[in-house]
Amino acid sequence: MKAYIYSILMFISLMITPAMLAQNGRCNNILDKVIKEYDNANGVSANFNIHSESNGYASEIGGKIVLNGRMFAFTTNEMECGYDGETLWTYIKNNEEINLSIPEEEEIININPYLLFSNYNNRFKCSYEGKNGDLETIVMSPKNSNDNISNVKVVINSKLLYPSRIEIKNKDNSKFIIIVSNYNSRVNIDKSEFKFDEKRHPNIEIIDLR
């Protein structure tokens, strides 16, 4: 489950801050257009499917995500999670409990989309791999040899301006492939969508760590 959360948050971060990842002219050109499209939207929604491989095991999980600025919320069959810019809430359905927290600075770097990728222009080298129709591929490799990530390959739909496929390879040989579909940047999402609402989850234990 932690691996799923990590890969979803990596996906969120790449959706929100791709312009920060660019290191050369062609990458900058593509990614700047993507981030401009996101910044001009009042909200974004998309479906995603994550295929993960780790320690000889493979699994898949799918769901839906909505984003607006720093805020996000996603749902899968196993969990629901939201971040309203201050409070992070996570509902693991099998556990029948909801965790509410306001992460410390060190923690939030690992879960907050903006903070997680705000320094990625220093972390990654970016190279342009090529174009196939409306799809353009960018590969990012960490500058620091101690980085846990081997590389991240992002396929951008240059017509609709969103990352349609994200492939993350780690040095422990684990891999995550995230496929994005039904991307819509023309939706108006109310901020209440990202806040925890106890009325939506009656009779579920709430663990408030704030």
Amino acid in position 115: L
At residue 137, the pLDDT reads 93
| Tally of domains in the chain | 1
Share of the chain above pLDDT 90, in %: 10
User: Which of the residue ranges 4-8, 92-96, 121-125 would you say has the lowest mean pLDDT?
Assistant: 4-8
Q: Given pLDDT bands bounded at 50, 70 and 90, which one contains residue 207?
A: very high
E strands, 122-204, in order = 124-132, 135-142, 149-157, 162-170, 175-184
Q: What integer best gives the mean pLDDT of the chain?
A: 80
Overall average pLDDT of the 117-135 stretch: 76
Q: Given pLDDT bands bounded at 50, 70 and 90, which one contains residue 132?
A: very high
Measured distance CA(57)–CA(101) in Å, rounded:
31
At residue 19, the pLDDT reads 45
Spatial contact of 76 and 63, defined as CB atoms under 8 Å apart: yes
Model confidence pLDDT, tens digit, residues 51-67: 888 888 888 888 998 88
Higher pLDDT, residue 150 or 104: 150
3-state secondary structure at position 150: strand
pLDDT at 13 over 70: no
What DSSP string describes 76-109? ESSEEEEE-SS-EEEEEGGGTEEEEE---HHHHT
Look up the CATH number of the domain holding residue 201.
2.50.20.10
| Structure tokens belonging to residue 93 | 């359905």
pLDDT at 121 over 70: no
Using alpha carbons only, give the angle 67, 71, 73 rounded to the nearest 5 degrees: 60
| Structure tokens belonging to residue 162 | 């969103």
DSSP state of 37: H
Higher pLDDT, residue 15 or 136: 136
What DSSP string describes 172-193? TS-EEEEEEEEEES-----GGG
Q: Given pLDDT bands bounded at 50, 70 and 90, which one contains residue 134?
A: very high
Model confidence pLDDT, tens digit, residues 86-99: 888 989 888 889 99
Domain holding 166, by residue range, is 2-208
Measured distance CA(50)–CA(195) in Å, rounded:
25
pLDDT at 7 over 80: no
Model confidence pLDDT, tens digit, residues 147-197: 888 888 889 898 888 889 988 888 888 888 889 899 898 888 888 889 888
3-state secondary structure at position 74: strand
Overall average pLDDT of the 127-132 stretch: 88
pTM above 0.85, yes or no: no
